[in-house]
């Protein structure tokens, strides 16, 4: 691969928790310049000051005056389409935080705006860049566990009460752990295991009594015949979630636990500790014979930094988006199928 160090100017729209992270990453990048930070909340000016850049309360003013090459859209889900459209009209490439939108209609609108404006859309399912996820995908896809039979996901942690001081996190359509958190895991499952053809789900709001769910149970049917289960709760005193187990984000405390288990005919993989279990002697299998545990070594790296460099190269036209609007819309469709199945009590086939 040729070396391309051409600098690009990137703006960050939305200066909340993840927006601030993006601003700091762009600000200290050796190949990107931070063109500015935008948020309708004037108190977020502190993020721009910390990143030593200009602050705007209006995205159109930022785009007109700063003329960035690209923009990171980290606003609430319902505003993704509006912001992407404004960027597309000015030929500004976009990195949109997941989910791409809170409805399939809005996702299609983003895709059309991008096509009409001739821009690239990269969607921030950043876990795909994590070396742990990349290694797990390679192992599952290349037969390290044999034929994949099933996968079990446990996503359980306790969000603090102040998390819900932001209105949209307590309300539909964009709030709740399914669209805010679990969509990451559903996208990761698609990436590692293959497309999901059928969803069955139950949900509960018993912990907080909010309009949105706090606990979800899901069964998944993959097109390749594998079966998946997901148990998720953002109100549980528990250490079993990707965020806590992977140590990807220092914002969370870390626990040396596994949260995914991939089950195959020849072995099984516990993630993210990357524990591969296989029979010590392939000639002797079954419950009376011992399984041997080996640990696959993976060199850690910050997936958000890898994603930013990829976005820079997308802006330059050197690479195509690894997670484009069509791909991200399929993950959104699975998450929406979870909510619809939980609402109706019937199985739902994700459809874009």
Does residue 150 come out as left (phi exceeding 0), alpha (psi in the -120 to 50 range) or beta? beta
Residues 199, 340: one domain? yes
Residue 325 placed within a domain: no
The whole-number pLDDT of residue 109 equals 96
**Same structural domain, 309 and 218:** no
Cβ atoms of residues 229 and 153 within 8 Å: yes
Asked whether residue 161 is assigned to any structural domain, the reply reads yes
Question: pLDDT, tens digit, for every residue of 81-134?
Answer: 999 999 999 999 999 999 999 999 999 999 999 999 999 999 999 999 999 999
Q: Are 124 and 96 in contact (CB under 8 A)?
A: yes
Q: What angle do CA 262, 129, 196 make, to 5 degrees?
A: 45
In a domain, 350, yes or no: no
CATH of the domain at 96: 3.40.50.720
The pLDDT value recorded for residue 100 is: 97
The C-alpha atoms of residue 9 and residue 3 are separated, in whole angstroms, by 19
Residue 115 maps to a domain: yes
Q: What is the domain-level CATH number for residue 257?
A: 3.30.360.10
Q: Do the domain assignments include residue 25?
A: yes
pLDDT at 4 (0 to 100): 64
Identify whether residues 289 and 145 lie together within a single domain: yes
CA distance 104 to 350: 11
Tens of pLDDT, residues 170-201: 988 888 999 999 999 999 999 999 999 999 99
User: pLDDT under 50 in the chain at which residues?
Assistant: 1
Query: In this structure, is residue 1 part of a structural domain?
Result: no
Residue 209 is part of which domain span? 128-302+333-344
Residues 220 and 293 in one domain: yes
Same domain, residue pair 213 and 291: yes
Q: Are residues 313 and 185 in the same domain?
A: no
């Amino acid at each position: 691969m040729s070396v391309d160090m051409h600098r690009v100017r990137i703006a960050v729209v939305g200066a909340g928790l993840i927006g601030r992270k993006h601003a700091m990453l762009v600000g200290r990048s050796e190949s990107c310049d931070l063109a500015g930070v935008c948020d309708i909340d004037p108190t977020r000016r502190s993020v721009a000051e910390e990143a030593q850049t200009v602050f705007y309360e209006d995205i159109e003013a930022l785009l007109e005056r700063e003329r960035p090459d690209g923009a990171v859209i980290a606003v609430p889900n319902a505003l993704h389409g509006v912001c992407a459209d404004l960027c597309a009209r000015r030929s500004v490439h976009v990195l949109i935080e997941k989910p791409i939108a809170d409805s399939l209609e809005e996702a299609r609108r983003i895709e059309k705006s991008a096509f009409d404006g001739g821009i690239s859309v990269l969607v921030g399912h950043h876990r795909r860049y994590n070396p742990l996820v990349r290694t797990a995908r390679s192992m599952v896809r290349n037969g390290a566990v044999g034929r994949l039979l099933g996968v079990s996901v446990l996503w359980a942690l306790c969000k603090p009460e102040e998390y819900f001081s932001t209105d949209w996190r307590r309300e539909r359509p964009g709030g709740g752990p399914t669209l805010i958190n679990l969509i990451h895991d559903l996208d990761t499952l698609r990436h590692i295991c293959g497309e999901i053809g059928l969803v069955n789900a139950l949900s509960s709001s018993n912990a907080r009594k909010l309009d949105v769910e706090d606990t979800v149970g899901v069964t998944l049917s993959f097109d390749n015949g594998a079966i998946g289960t997901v148990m998720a709760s953002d109100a549980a005193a528990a250490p079993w979630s990707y965020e806590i187990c992977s140590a990807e984000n220092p914002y969370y405390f870390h626990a040396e636990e596994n949260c995914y288990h991939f089950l195959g005919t020849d072995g099984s993989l516990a993630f993210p500790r990357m524990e591969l279990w296989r029979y010590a002697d392939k000639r002797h299998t079954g419950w009376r014979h011992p399984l041997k545990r080996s640990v696959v070594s993976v060199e850690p790296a910050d997936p958000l930094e890898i994603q930013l460099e990829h976005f820079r190269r997308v802006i330059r036209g050197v690479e195509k988006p690894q997670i484009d609007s069509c791909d991200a819309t399929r993950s959104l469709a699975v998450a929406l199928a979870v909510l619809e199945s939980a609402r109706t009590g019937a199985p739902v086939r994700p459809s874009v």
